[in-house]
Amino acid sequence: MDSETEALALAREGRFSEALSLIEAAVSGGARTARALALRSSLLLQTGQAEAAFLAAEEALNAVDGAAVIWKVRGDALQALGRPAEALESYGKAMALGPQHYDPHVGAAGALRALGRYHEALAACDAALELSPGNAEARYHRGLLRLLIGDYEGGWADYQARWQVPSFVARSGAFVTPAVRQRLTTAPTREALAGRHVVVVAEQGIGDQIMFASMLPDLAEVAGQVTCVCDRRLIGLFSNAMPQVRFVDVREAPLPAGRSVEVVVAIGDLCGVFRGGPETFRGAPYLRPTEASVQHWAGRLPPREGRPRVGLSWRGGAGFTNREGRSMSLNAMAPLLSGVAADWISLQYGDVSQELAEAGSEMPVTPLAFRPDEIDDFDALAGLLANLDAVVSVQTALVHLCGALGKTCLTLIPPQPEWRYGAEGETLPWYGSVRLFRRAPEDGWEPALQQIADQLRTVA
């Protein structure tokens, strides 16, 4: 097996760093074919090095003129750098040079989505599937687009293809291991779940686990027994609200041993059964903190002095979920803090002590912050939220927690929202207590922050 083929095999398994090391060595050794150079750029991108990926693609175009595969990965890098219009041009050149290739159409769909041209993006996915029927990557991206615009039935059907997309599989590997994937029922039906012992395996981030957990009570009404494998930080909160479900720490057992497991499903695949259309979303709170947690935080917060208590989170996401586009600096929140008389509480994940110190005199009010370990467990965080009047947050897991608890959350949405937040509108079908404030592409965050300030002034 040559180095390029071996690197491709590693990439298909989600082992991107190993694949990159192998292809870097091959290129350094003289393997400067279009395929090798394009793979190098693609792997740089998969390992979070978007700028390096773009430079590698530019270098490759100088070395190998007119290769469709290089124009395609150049487009991917531009898209990761937040330059979708340029990416679309690059994909167009790839299509012209390789009209038989499906993947530039998938890339174009992503760029069109970033530009807000959703129906054109769907058409690009359809074009990819005409060239490569049943292609998992094209189906997965079409699923995300369908969900974004509210086509739940078609969206969930396509969303199942995510388990054949290496980059997605790599991100969910901590929960959905290869052994678990072999057991998955990826298109479950109500009949297949009825009366069975169903093991539900969490996937993706904390926010997704909270959001999808809204379906566990639905499942418990149908199945004979339900076990859910999830992040340890959620077990206390979930167990308190859903005693009919047994929760297991994923670190202990990706699949519970010693019990009759009849059906294994990934938690997101329950959507096709229980959330097939807008009318199937309940929107009501389904989680609650323990009373001990609520009382603990009632004693930790300063006395009320006639002002609302408002939680604050200004940063969220990872590199592959548009962290830069959906986050802001703490200082950017200053107009909100100066415009609303409130007791501000930091709910930002991680240690923010340095950030608060650096904000200094630029901040009209310094939010009260707690040690990260005090709110790392989600029952503890939920207990703190129970003592607040409202929350202001960017797209992050905190929004899902607020929605699941029924806590008012005023959410800042970037021009390129995650599919969970929809393409338009002020509300979410998942939660009745979340309100969305969308930033227009040509604006900064100031107009949305002003709208939130106006809303907060009505909070008692």
Mind listing the pLDDT tens digit for each residue in 322-376? 556 668 888 888 889 988 999 999 999 888 888 888 877 677 888 999 999 999 9
Of the candidates 348, 364, 341, 365, which has an alpha carbon nearest to the alpha carbon of residue 456? 341
Q: Quote the pLDDT of residue 153.
A: 93
User: If you average pLDDT over each of 21-25, 67-71, 448-452, which comes out highest?
Assistant: 448-452
What pLDDT was estimated at residue 31? 67
The residues spanned by each domain of the chain are 3-171, 178-280, 291-456
Architecture of domain 178-280 in CATH? 3-Layer(aba) Sandwich (3.40)
Mean pLDDT (whole number) for 183-209: 94
Topology of the domain covering 291-456: Rossmann fold (3.40.50)
Of 226 and 257, the one with more pLDDT:
226
CATH topology for the 3-171 domain: 1.25.40
pLDDT in tens, 265-297: 999 999 999 999 889 998 999 999 999 999 999
Whether 7 shows a pLDDT value over 70: the answer reads yes
Residue 303 has pLDDT above 80, yes or no: yes
Q: What is the mean pLDDT of the chain?
A: 90
* pLDDT at position 319 over 60: no
User: Which tens digit of pLDDT belongs to each residue from 46-98?
Assistant: 888 999 999 888 888 887 766 888 999 999 999 999 899 999 999 999 999 99
- pLDDT at position 326 is 66
